[in-house]
Chain A
Amino acid sequence: MRLQDSFPAQPGHSVGASSVSSSVRSFFPSPGRGFVLLTKGNVLIGELTPSLMLPEHPTGDSAIDDYLRVAGDDPDRPSDKTIDRGRGWLRRLAGLLAAFDPGWIAPNVSAGADGELVLEWWNGQRKVTVYLDEEETEYVRSWGTSIEDDMDDGTVADPSRMANIWNWLHSDVDDV
């Protein structure tokens, strides 16, 4: 099962084709609303609230907890507000990705130069880095050393926006 590139889905509207054959095909986050949409076929059949769909995900929390254990009293450690925001962001991401191939993979977590929480995932030459501070969440995607040709960046305030990036990171195709 793979996250698809086709959201946002809107109630009553179809979503993109899926290779999943089960009757309940996919969950699609609704950007900016904090909901998860349940689809059957290409038709939206319901919404699940975060309290139903996104319980505590220890994998998301453990990545932060592992970092805090390593960082100790490090003066470069991100603020508590950033840590809390990162914990919530990762918890949501872990919940969204848990059902999809390759599933949730805990990031490397470290501190950036400006007090950001830095989350990193690797897959061969492909790498995704997420910078999360008290206000913003931004990513850099890279697949080579050329800053102009082998990288792009943007914002991912809502973890659901990571779907395309996650698909790209774990795609088998050579083109990027």
Chain B
Amino acid sequence: MGDEEILYRRVLYGKNHYRVDESGDVYLSSTAFADKTWRPSVDRAELCGHDPSFTQQNEENAVVSVVCQDVREIDTVVENDKKGRQVLRHRVDVLPDPWPDNAAHAIVAPIPDYRKPKQVFRRLLEALVRLAQQRPWEILPWEIRRNIN
């Protein structure tokens, strides 16, 4: 996968995965990238026609994006022991993971695997959310689109 590739992430409606404040500013929750397997799913834009509605699936959902290189540059995922000593460093990569019904599917994965996934993964979520918020929303939250229309 090329560093320049754009990756789409679906942001589900009705789960508080984002907050829209009174001025219309949108705050993306870390849970927007949460994943039970510690490997958040994304769709490769170039394999779905650069059409974020492919990832959106449901009209009420929103879509954000990150750049593959930015994700790979999260290269200092560090695991420390209880005394704060570094025990492992991870490189974060984006790996193709095509599904039968979704050739564009890919995952954000640590190399090597997390040994203490919870704490490290939570920091990764914060980084992913910040990267996504540095770019325009591919498809705005339903609450905003509904008001515009």
Contacts and interface: CB of A to CB of B under 8 A. Distances in A.
User: Do A and B bind?
Assistant: yes
B77 interface: yes
B29 interface: yes
Interface string A96-119: 000000000000111111100010
Contacts, number: 77
Interface in A115-134: 118, 120, 122, 127, 129, 131
Contacts of B77: 147
Contact of B15 (A70, A127, A138, A151): A70
Interface stretch (B42-50, B52-60, B95-103, B117-125): B117-125
Interface string A130-159: 010000001010101111110101000000
B34 interface: yes
A24 interface: no
A67 interface: yes
Given A111-B31, A112-B31, A131 B14 contact: no
B16 A110 contact: yes
**B-side binding surface: helix, strand, loop or mixed?**
mixed
A118 B29 contact: yes
A176 interface: no
B107 interface: no
Contacts of B123: 140, 142, 147, 151, 153
B51 interface: no
A125 B83 CA distance: 28
B126 A140 contact: yes
Interface residues of B, number: 27
B131 interface: yes
A76 B124 CA distance: 21
A173 to B, nearest CB: 21
Interface string B114-142: 00001110111011001100000000000
A110 B15 contact: yes
Nearest to A67: B16
Given A67-B16, A140-B123, A151-B126, A122 B76 contact: no
B15 A145 contact: no
9 contacts: A72-B14, A108-B16, A112-B31, A113-B38, A138-B119, A142-B130, A144-B130, A147-B78, A147-B127
Interface of A: 67, 70-72, 74, 76, 108-114, 118, 120, 122, 127, 129, 131, 138, 140, 142, 144-149, 151, 153
The 4 closest A-B pairs by CB, nearest first: A110-B16, A113-B34, A148-B76, A110-B31
Interface of B: 14-17, 19, 27, 29-31, 34-36, 38, 74, 76-78, 118-120, 122-124, 126-127, 130-131
